[in-house]
């Protein structure tokens, strides 16, 4: 939890001011019982009204001063804790944003959401509690002991017995509750994860009539969460009553023993009342301290979970200064590239997804990539923008190893149209401008024309100002893909990656799109087109055929027909054996 140090340093001065105010508040609270004892013993008992009014005036002043200090303390503590929570969330979000895909794969999406929200809230609540109670409670306990002993040292035996008993109860609570609170946070992860999966796949759930199954899954996760909370509450159920019992027995002992000493003339009535008041302050301070310790248990579990993200070291090494020159005509070379996904933190890598891939894509070439499902096509193109780094081998752009290029400079030259078209809530114009916020309206329209999207966009009542629902719910699959392609083209990239992004288009629209793309003024654009259909890549300069992560063939359509049995089988299965191979 060393990551917390920088936040304590940042807010150290304001935190110290809060503690100074809190100490003043505690001093006011500690003075009141002693003044009350003097009012009774030296004023009321002696019928000295002058002393009574004078001491009561001081009590009113100290009460007002304590109230003002409490108000200032609350303002300071709330302000600091909110800023602290804001900074931790921002830094946590920034850390996650900067993760490579390999690091993101180590955490489930549900747990990342929980750690960024609920866990930070637990930490923020504890930080607030430190400034409001955690420091004040020990001050009141120690101060009450000192003041009580100054009133009558002979009564010291009572707090000497009660306080160690309460401390022991708190220790047991901490030891038993900590692992249970960790289980609560883990169960909350599962609830969030289950809910996220259901909402993201709600159409599939309803289409397959699996609502009952999803309800069962959520009920199980929800029951696990409630069960974890119940186990915690069972431990906590006897905690506060035990503390109350111990301290109230102490107060009862003070009244009994004090009354006995008053009867012997060894103690005054006001001293008994002062001692009872100090014992009551100790009681409430211990109760508040116990609440803080409960918060500490939860905060510690949350802090460790947050720390696991902050302490995650990204395996990907980033170069900070070399810039990839130029905007067009990129020559991409794969040199003996192999890649394996990691099964998880601390586990060995899985079997290779790509195995010893070597090929050269000339500047401005169009490369078609085909292969069976699971052959590694998407993984291959995902290595170009460094979503992952190869397990072995190297990738070069214009002869420069992309590991040695500033990753922002590299990705500025690349535009990607993913398999699943991801659109954001907003207008069509805003979604296309995601690719290039500085693009003009003319650039957007031109990119839409090439993507064959301008026609249907213009047909909407609002045109480019039409609002897209969440995830593009009010658009067809083909419309979403064409908007995603326009978003990539408006970027005016040097490298375009289309990852099976025309699967929802009919053959005619796909043909017009490719013709518009290849005949546009995007000269020097190096293009990688992944497709399940050979017809989509026939006109490519070269076709890359993958089979089980291995490079089965690389060349033009005519060359692969001659050299690759697998390619010929794919061609005949998709196009038909009666169609001439040179058609």
Among residues 278, 284, 277, the alpha carbon closest in space to that of 243 is found at: 284
Half-sphere exposure of 210 (CA within 13 A, CB side): 12
Long-range contacts of 42-48 (CB under 8 A, 24+ apart): 42/270, 45/268, 45/269, 45/270
Strand 426-427 vs strand 414-417: parallel, antiparallel, or unpaired? unpaired
CB 357 within 8 A of CB 501: no
Q: Give pLDDT, residue 48.
A: 67
Q: How far apart (Å, rounded) are the C-alpha atoms in residues 513 and 482?
A: 9
Give the per-residue pLDDT at 330.
87
Token pair listed for 427: 């207008």
Phi/psi at 221 (nearest 5 deg)?
-65, -40
**Chain center to CA of 194:** 16
Is residue 119 within 8 Å of residue 306, measured between CB atoms? yes
pLDDT value of residue 43: 67
Asked if residue 18 lies in contact with residue 77, where contact means CB atoms within 8 angstroms, the answer is: yes
pLDDT at 227: 85
Output the six-digit token pair for 342: 């990691």
DSSP label at 113? H
Contacts with 122 (C-beta within 8 Å, 6 or more apart), sequence order: 295, 298, 299, 301, 302
What is the model's pLDDT at position 1? Answer: 64
**Which pLDDT score is estimated for 271?**
74
Task: Give the Å distances, CA to CA, from 277 to 34, 145, 148, 231, 284.
Answer: 9, 11, 9, 36, 11
pLDDT of residue 577: 47
For residue 349, what pLDDT is reported? Answer: 52
For the chain, first and last CA: distance in Å?
66
pLDDT of residue 545: 92
Q: With contact defined as beta carbons under 8 Å apart, do 569 and 538 qualify?
A: no
The domain 318-413+493-583 having CATH identifier 3.40.50.620: the answer here is no
Residue 218 tokens read as: 């959520």
Each as own residue / partner, the long-range contacts of residues 199-208 (CB below 8 Å, 24 or more positions apart, any chain) are none
Torsion of Cα atoms, 570 then 575 then 581 then 583, to 10°: -150
- The enclosing H or E element of 498 equals strand 495-499
The predicted pLDDT at position 338 comes to 92
Tens digit of pLDDT at every position of the chain (583 positions): 677 778 888 877 887 788 788 778 878 877 777 777 777 767 676 676 777 777 778 888 888 888 888 888 888 888 888 888 888 899 988 888 888 777 777 787 777 888 888 888 888 888 887 777 777 777 777 877 777 777 777 777 777 777 788 778 777 777 777 677 778 877 877 887 788 777 767 767 766 677 788 888 888 888 888 888 888 777 777 777 787 787 778 778 777 877 777 777 766 777 777 777 777 777 777 777 777 777 777 788 788 888 888 888 777 777 766 777 777 788 999 999 999 886 444 444 567 889 999 999 988 888 999 988 888 898 999 999 988 889 889 999 888 898 888 888 888 888 988 888 888 888 999 989 988 888 999 999 999 999 899 989 998 888 999 888 777 778 888 888 899 999 999 988 889 999 888 888 888 888 888 888 877 655 678 899 998 888 888 888 899 999 888 999 999 888 888 888 888 888 888 776 444 455 4
CATH placement of domain 2-310: 1.20.1560.10
Give the three-class secondary structure for 356: strand
- Integer angstrom CA distances of residue 302 from 178, 295, 299, 308, 500: 11, 10, 5, 10, 41
**Residues 290 and 239 sit within 8 Å (Cβ to Cβ):** yes
Q: Provide the pLDDT for residue 345.
A: 45
pLDDT score, position 113: 82
For the chain, the domains span 2-310, 318-413+493-583, 422-482
Q: What is the pLDDT of residue 578?
A: 40
CA distance 550 to 223: 46
pLDDT at 343: 47
- What's the confidence (pLDDT) of residue 262? 72
- Write out the two tokens for 100: 């490579």
pLDDT of residue 396: 92
CB-CB contact of 437 with 491 (8 Å): no
């Amino acid at each position: 939890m060393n990551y917390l140090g920088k936040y304590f340093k940042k807010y150290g001065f304001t935190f110290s001011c809060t503690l100074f105010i809190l100490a003043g508040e505690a001093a006011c609270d500690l003075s009141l019982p002693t003044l009350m004892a003097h009012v009774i013993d030296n004023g009321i008992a002696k019928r000295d009204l002058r002393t009574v009014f004078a001491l009561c005036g001081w009590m009113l002043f100290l009460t007002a001063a304590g109230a003002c200090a409490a108000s200032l303390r609350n303002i300071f503590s709330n302000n600091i804790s909110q800023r602290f929570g804001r900074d931790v969330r921002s830094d946590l979000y920034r850390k996650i944003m900067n993760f490579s895909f390999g690091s993101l794969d180590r955490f489930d999406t549900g747990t990342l959401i929980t750690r960024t929200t609920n866990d930070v809230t637990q930490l923020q609540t504890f930080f607030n509690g430190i400034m409001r109670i955690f420091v004040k409670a020990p001050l009141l306990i120690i101060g009450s002991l000192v003041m009580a002993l100054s009133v009558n040292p002979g009564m010291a035996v009572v707090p000497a017995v009660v306080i160690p008993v309460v401390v022991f109860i708190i220790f047991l609570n901490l030891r038993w509750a900590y692992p249970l609170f960790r289980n609560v946070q883990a169960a909350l992860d599962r609830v969030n994860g289950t809910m996220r999966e259901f909402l993201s796949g709600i159409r599939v759930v309803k289409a397959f009539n699996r609502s009952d199954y999803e309800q069962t899954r959520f009920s199980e996760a929800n029951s696990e969460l409630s069960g974890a909370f119940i186990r915690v509450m069972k431990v906590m159920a006897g905690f506060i009553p035990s503390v109350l019992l111990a301290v109230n027995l102490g107060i009862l002992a003070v009244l009994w023993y004090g009354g006995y000493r008053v009867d012997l003339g060894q103690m005054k009535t006001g001293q008994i009342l002062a001692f009872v008041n100090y014992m009551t302050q100790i009681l409430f301070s211990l109760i508040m301290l116990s609440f803080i310790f409960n918060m500490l248990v939860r905060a510690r579990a949350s802090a460790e979970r947050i720390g696991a993200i902050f302490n995650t070291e990204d395996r990907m090494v980033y170069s900070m200064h070399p810039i990839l020159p130029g905007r067009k005509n990129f020559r991409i070379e794969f040199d003996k590239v192999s890649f394996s996904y990691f099964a998880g933190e601390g586990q060995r890598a899985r079997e290779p997804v790509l195995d010893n891939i070597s090929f050269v894509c000339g500047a401005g070439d169009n490369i078609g990539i085909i292969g069976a499902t699971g052959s590694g096509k998407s993984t291959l193109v995902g290595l170009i923008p460094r979503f992952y780094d190869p397990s072995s081998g190297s990738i070069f752009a214009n002869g420069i190893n992309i590991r040695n290029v500033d990753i922002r400079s590299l990705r500025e030259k690349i535009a990607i149209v993913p398999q699943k078209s991801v659109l954001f809530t907003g207008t069509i114009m805003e979604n296309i401008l995601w690719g290039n916020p500085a693009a003009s309206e003319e650039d957007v329209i031109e990119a839409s024309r090439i993507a064959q999207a301008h026609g249907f966009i213009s047909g909407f009542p609002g045109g480019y100002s039409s609002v897209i629902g969440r995830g593009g719910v009010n658009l067809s699959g083909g419309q979403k893909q064409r908007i995603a392609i326009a978003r990539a083209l408006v970027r005016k990239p040097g490298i375009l990656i289309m990852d099976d992004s025309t699967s929802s288009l009919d053959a005619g629209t796909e043909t017009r799109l490719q013709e518009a793309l290849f005949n546009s003024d995007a000269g020097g654009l190096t293009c990688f087109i992944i497709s399940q259909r050979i017809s989509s890549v026939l006109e490519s300069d070269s076709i890359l055929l993958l089979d089980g992560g291995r490079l089965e063939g690389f060349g033009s359509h005519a060359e692969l027909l001659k050299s690759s049995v697998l390619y010929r089988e794919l061609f005949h299965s998709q196009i038909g054996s009666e169609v001439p191979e040179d058609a």
